[in-house]
Structures are given as structure tokens and as C-alpha cells.
Structure 1
Amino acid sequence: MGVNQKVRIGMIGYQFMGKAHSHAYRDLSFYFDNPLKPELKVIAGRNEEAVKEAQEKMGWESYELDWKKVIARDDIDVIDIVTPNHTHAEIAIAAAKAGKHIITEKPLALTVEEAKEMLQAVEENGVKHMICHNYRFAPAVQYAKKLIEDGKIGRVYHYRANYLQDFIMDPNFPLVWRLKKEVSGSGALGDIGAHSIDLARFLIGEFAEVSGTMETFIKQRPVGEMTGGLNAKGNASEMGEVTVDDAVAFIARFENGALGTFEATRFAGGNRNKNKFEINGEKGSIRWDMENMNNLEVYFADDEEGVQGFRLINCTEEVHPYAGAYWPPGHIIGYEHTFIHLIDEFFRGIAEDYQPAPNFDDGVKNQIVLEAVEESSETKSWVPID
């Protein structure tokens, strides 16, 4: 594709992540000199009234009620999948066979087998592909990656991750798709734990083995549906069984010898989106918390005695990844900008003919870890990552 060529987008789905992705497409060219320019051609969903409202509000040219019609259109270059997890594989494989580039929300699929089929489809058809682990693209996380690669903290000993939310703690919160295994694959593990797994792989390397446990605290809930974001409505007169985990905790060994501890829960009262990690190495440590996403805490063991300790770095200087595209130092960016950075990388991969990351290969590797944690919880044993 040439410089300033339009990339015509077809989005399947339109709710929480549809809003985040749409915003990223609309603002990409405002901040970044990307060689490709997004064109929001069509958005698809089953509820005509809701998808028409989303189309108008989020700036899409048209809407469809059948995702297959979007894939069949000749005026679409990219398929963006923001639907529930159980639909990812069918849509992505069809899109790959139609020669469309693909970006999809996480987790990649319901199972490792499905994920591998998706990877095979995109590789056989030569299309670019990404999975939307947007937290990789916070400037502070990118800078943490640079510090680690530059050897600033030396050999890594520990990776410590927590992803804490509380939005389903009310027993009357309804039985939405995120709480049904046949639709979501898993609960807190795949919904938010997948992000922690991807960040760990991105920052320090591949998993070697895991040992974990999972728990469902509330077994039955009123039947209901999502209404936008993480909000939902239910029918108190009809109850259904929760078939996924509410919380998961696991320990891990990495191929490089580091030890990892991971916790993901949607029952941590007061934590709206506490996605955080700490990395301890032989020469220093790094901390990050998504709720303060611009800040990175760094400790270096060779600091002068008496002033040692964690220093706070506000990653808004031009030296920090992506930060130079925005405002003067100290002028804060937000959650939505991580998606802009991911889309920028996706389009550069298309324009310059390289495979951007995280991609479906990362999705498969993440899925293998997710399934290993589930297996470990069932067997109460260590499970190697094959």
C-alpha cells in the first residue's frame, strides 16, 4: 500500500471495545504520521436499532446486520472483531480466507485448538493480524520493556502481577455472556488474566510451567445481558448457573528462570481496573499500575546509599515511547491512547509488509498458558507449557 492510502475498515460488534477501537481509528491521523489512513466503512451487529445508533455516534459510513456481508464486501481491507469470544474463530477464519487483514479482541479464542486454526488461516492466506492486548502500548510499559532490554535491572528474578476488578461483586449482577463458559471460555482468567499473561510474555519471556487454582464465589445469578461498557440488566425472576471462574491465582516458572505470581479477580472491592505488575531483577526493580498508567516506578541498586528507593517517572517526555506525539511533558494521556498506539503499529505492519505484534501467534501462546492454568486447577498439579 502507498503512503496516505486509505485502509477501509469493517468492524464486527459495536459495544465497549467497539467504542475504543472506533475512537482509535478516528484519532490516529491526528496524532501520528502513519502512512495509512483509516476509513470507517461499515459496522455490524444483530440489533438494528443499537447498531444504527452506534454507526451514527461513532462515525461509520454504514451498518450491516450480518457479519458475513461485511467480509464479502470488496470495499473492505481490514476486519476488526470486537464480538464475544466464542465468535472470534469463525469470523477471523472467514476473513482470512477472504484476504482481509484482521484485528481481534482478546482472548484469541475459546480453546488452544481454535486459536491454532485461526493462526493457520492467517498464515496460509498471507494477511496481517493482531490481537488487542492494548496494555503493551502504554508509554510506561514500553519504556519498562526498554529498561529491561537495556539490562538496567539485570537478570530478572520475579514477575508479580495482579489484575483486580469488582464489577460483578453484587449477587444481583446478571448472568451476562462473560459469565458463561460456552461464550467466554473462562471468567477472570481469560477476561483480565489474559492481559497479565501477555504483559509477562512481552516483558520477560515465555512461561515454562504453571500451578494454579480457580474459584467461583457466586454460583447462580439472574439471567441478563450487557448494556454497554461493563453495565448490565437482568431478570430477577429467572436464575442461571455461572460456569466460569470469579477469581484465579497461579504461580509460574519462566524459561529464563524467573518466578511469577499472578492473581486475577472480579471480586476485589474498590478496585475498578487495578492492572499492575512488579518486576525484581539483580540490579533493580520496576513497578506499574494501569490506574496511574503514565507513571513508572523504578529502583536501581547502584544508586547512592541514603537515596536508594523507588523513583517515580512520569512517562510523558519525548524520550518515552509514543509520548512525543501528544502534549508537553506532564500533560497526561489516557486509556484510549493505548488503542491508538496499537492501531498505529497494525497499520505500519500493513504498509511496510511486516507482521506486527501482539498477533495471533501471541494469542496462541497466551491461550496455551490459560488452558494450562485451568488444567492445573482441575488436577491440583504443576502443568508444563508445551
Structure 2
Amino acid sequence: MDRALRVGIIGGGFMGEAHARAARSAGAEVIGVLASSQESSQRAARSLGAEAFSSVAELAGAADVVHVCSPNGLHAEHVRAVIRAGKHVVCEKPLSTDHATADGLVREADEAGVVASVPFVYRFHPMVRQARHLVQQGEIGRLLTVQGQYLQDWMLDPSAWNWRVDPAESGASRAFGDIGSHLVDLLEFVAGERIRRLSAITSIAYPERDGHPVSTEDAAALTVEFTGGAIGSIMVSQVNAGRKNALTIELAGTANNIVFEQEKPDELWIGGESSTRVISRDATVLGDDAARLSAVPAGHPMGYVDAFAGFVRDTYAAIQGSAPEGLPRFADGARANQVIDAVLESARTRQWVDVGEAAVEPLAQSSSAPASPASVTRPATAKETA
């Protein structure tokens, strides 16, 4: 294709703006936007310097690729419309509100022959690729234990409310679906193994927000077993005071231990039995894939915006016929939904769940239901809200 890719954006909020910025960074032309109402579409169009569209069909007809950044409950509808128009698609995670629907979207995209990707953008930090490279090269030895956490505090205020709290719009999982999906994808991507089974417990900090009952979790804690036998723990919370985007992964093996912290994205900690060291991002000493994603010289910091841009560049390269390493496709998005379903099933039944065999019932019971050890619903204490 001799001309720039024409990009359409569905969604007029923060994520729509992030996608538009990354699209332009990759050399594409953002031609239009569709939001939840005509007024919202026009407002987003002014902000993005693009045209306001009135339907998905109209937008898909004008674009080469459409980025779906609408609320989770609308993802499947919007993705199907784009695929049926024969256009490439980028869909925010979670791909759908359940694994069965997500799996269907994978099949539809494959049958249509379109490029379909999911922005698990943390994969695109160069030091994440370096961690993966070290694991692949056997530098950590046989994987023994895995730890991961993703902590935020934006839901700590008991009055905090947006569409993500409403299961009709976001699905039955909130914190784990929103940020736990990123964390699990990152752990499995770096480890090169999948979670085989898990035991999960979830909690709700406030049974009511802004006059609405709450049934989606604020936090989740998991014990996991990987396919190679490693065991681990995962903590996800959106009510952890002072933590903004504290995503950390730690993989310990028989030889070495590696730690990546998303809030220190240019560093990778490596621990051995007799010494520890910190590797700083420098393309001259990194593996090929990590070096490829190092967009600026060593000493200039890279971060979330750069990782997002790397994801979009690789998606567009795939559209142009390349096969970039580590591009998260719809199958990866469906995998995240598979794990989310398993977390919800385990929290509901208080049992270990084999990932891939989870069967989630309709939306969780209201917060007035009796609490159990696996699904705790209670007001926060004064200490927790301090």
C-alpha cells in the first residue's frame, strides 16, 4: 500500500485518544471517530482533528483498520461489524465479556483473513522483551516460582463510579478483567508457559457506590500453577492507596531471578545466588527483539506511550504483510477471557479451576448476597480508607 493507512476510532474517551496518538505516531491517518452519541462523536472529532461518523458500518467503510475502544459489553458487536466489512481491527481488552464470545471473534477474524490484534501493550517495553529473551536462553534455569501484581488506587474513593463498575457494560469482572488481563498476559508471555490451574478469591471494598449496588470486584488474589510445574501468586487491586500503575512481575528459576517493574520500565533486575545486578535499557547490549523496540537512545526514558506506539506499529506492519515477533492477536485476547472466566468460577465455587474448563454463570449475585471466603463484600474500615 503506497498511501498511509486510514484509521477509524470507536470510542471518544481516554483510550480512543491513546489509540489515535499511537496511530499517528505509526504514520497512519486518523480519518474519523464514532462515540456513544452524535454530540460525543463531534466532541471527539474536534479533539482528534478527524470526522465524526454516525455508524460503525459508515466508519468501517471509510477506514482500512478500526480501533474498538468502546465499553467492554459493546466490543463483540463492534468487532463483528468491522470484520464483516472486511477491515482489519484492533480491539481493547477484554476482547469480550466471556470466553465463548471471544473465541467466536477469533474464528470470525481468521475466516475473514483480517489482522486482528489486542493492545497488551506492556509486552512492548524493551525490557520485557529482554526478560523474555533471558528466559528463552535458559538464563534463569528451570522456572520455579512466579509472582505478579498490578496495583492501582483510582477506585479507593467510595463515590468513584463509571461504566466499568456496571456489569451490564463491563462484564462480570472489573479489576481482574481491566488490569489482571494485562498482568496474566505479561506473565505468560515472558515465562513462555501458561497457567494450568488457579484458585482465586475476590473482594468488594464498598457494596454501594454513588447509590448503585456493586457486584464487580475491586481486588483479586490468585494462587496459580503453570504448565511446567512452577507455582505462583497474583494480586490485582484498584483500591491500593498510593499505587497508580504498579505492575510488577518476578520469575525465579534454578539459576537466576528476574524482576520487571512497569513504573521503572528502562530497568531489569537480575538476582543470582551470590550477586544481583540491574540492566538498563541500551540497544547495544540487548537481544534483537528488545533492541528493535528501543525507540530512543539509552539514557532517554521510554514509557507507556512508547510501548503503545510499538504495539500499533507492529499491528500496522502485520497489515502490510510482515510477521512481527510477539504481536498479541485475538487468540491472546480470548486467552485472557479464558483466565478471567476461571477466576470468576473459582471465586464463586471456592474451588481450584483448571483454566480452559471454566464455566461462568450469569452475572454475579448482587452485593446483598451472603459473603463467603471467596467473595468478600464489606465496607472498608477507616484504616483502609486513610
Cα drift, residue 65 of structure 1:
3.1
Which amino acid is 1:220 matched to? E
Question: In structure 2, the residue corresponding to 1:119 is in which secondary structure?
Answer: helix
CA contact (8 A) 1:253 1:260 kept: yes
What does 1:347-366 correspond to in 2, within 5 Å?
Answer: 347-352=316-321, 354=323, 357-366=327-336
Shift in Å, 1:27: 1.6
Give the secondary structure class of the aligned counterpart of 2:263. helix
Query: 2:31 & 2:285 partners in 1: Cα distance?
Result: 36
SS in 2 for 1:5: coil
1:24 aligns with 22
Q: Equivalents in 1 of 2:245, 2:179: separation in Å?
A: 9
* Pick aligned residue for 1:137 from 100, 124, 131: 124
| Closer/same/farther in 2, CA of residues 200 and 324 from structure 1, 3 Å limit | closer
Q: Alpha-carbon deviation of 1:354?
A: 4.3
The answer to whether the 8 A contact 2:126-2:293 is kept is: no
Shift of 1:253: 0.6
Q: Aligned partners of 1:291 and 1:219: how far apart in 2?
A: 31
Equivalent of 1:328 in 297, 317, 324: 297
State the Cα distance separating 1:41 from its structure 2 match. 1.1
Counterpart contact for 1:285–1:298, Cα < 8 Å:
yes
Alpha-carbon distance, 1:323 to partner: 6.5
Q: Letter of the aligned partner of 1:385 in structure 2?
A: V
Post-superposition Cα deviations, 1:85-128, rounded to whole Å, max 9, x if no partner, equal 00111111121111111101111100011101111110111111
Q: Write the deviation string for residues 207-237 of structure 1: whole angstroms up to 9, x where unpaired.
A: 1101011111101111xxxxxxxxxxxxxxx
1:292 is displaced (CA, Å) by: 1.2
Structure 1: distance between partners of 2:296 and 2:64? 32
Task: Give secondary structure in 1 for the equivalent of 2:160.
Answer: coil
Q: Is the 8 A contact 2:66 2:87 kept in 1?
A: yes
- 1:28-57 Cα offsets, whole Å, 9 max, x none, are 24xxxxxxxx12111111333443233233
1:1-386 aligned at under 5 Å gives the runs 2=1, 4-29=2-27, 38-60=28-50, 62-71=51-60, 73=61, 75-174=62-161, 176-185=162-171, 186-204=173-191, 205-222=193-210, 239-301=211-273, 305=274, 308-309=275-276, 311-320=277-286, 321-322=290-291, 326-352=295-321, 354=323, 357-386=327-356
Contact 1:46 / 1:66 at 8 angstroms: preserved in 2? no
3-state SS, counterpart of residue 320 of structure 2:
helix
2:283 and 2:294 in contact (8 A); partners too: no
Aligned to 1:158, the other structure's residue is in SS state strand
Task: State the distance in 2 between where 1:296 and 1:257 align.
Answer: 24
- Counterparts in 2 of 1:327 and 1:157: CA distance versus 1, 3 Å: same
Q: Percent identity?
A: 30
Q: Scaled by the length of structure 1, what TM-score is found? A: 0.87
Amino acid at match of 1:182: A
Sort the Cα spacing of 1:318 and 1:88 in 2 relative to 1 into closer, same or farther, 3 A.
farther
- The change in CA–CA distance for 1:91 and 1:152 in structure 2 (over 3 A counts) is same
Specify the SS of the correspondent of 1:286. Answer: strand
Alignment gaps of 5+ in structure 1? 30-37, 223-238
Q: RMSD of aligned C-alpha atoms?
A: 1.7
Corresponding position of 1:225 = none
Alpha-carbon deviation of 1:318?
A: 4.1
Query: Offset at 1:145?
Result: 0.8
Question: How far apart, in 2, do the equivalents of 1:322 and 1:151 lie?
Answer: 19
Shift of 1:148: 0.8
Aligned-residue offset at 1:316: 3.9
Question: What's the CA shift string for 1:314-352, capped at 9, x where partnerless?
Answer: 214344425675333111022111111001111111112
Q: Partners in 2 of 1:327 and 1:39 — Cα distance?
A: 23
The amino acid of 1:26's aligned partner reads: R
CA distance in 1, matches of 2:186, 2:33: 30
How far, CA to CA, are the matches of 2:4 and 2:55 in structure 1?
A: 24
More strand by share: 1
1:64 maps to amino acid: F
CA distance in 2, matches of 1:381, 1:351: 46
1:325 and 1:289 mapped to 2: Cα distance? Answer: 17
Tell me which amino acid in the other structure corresponds to 1:365: R
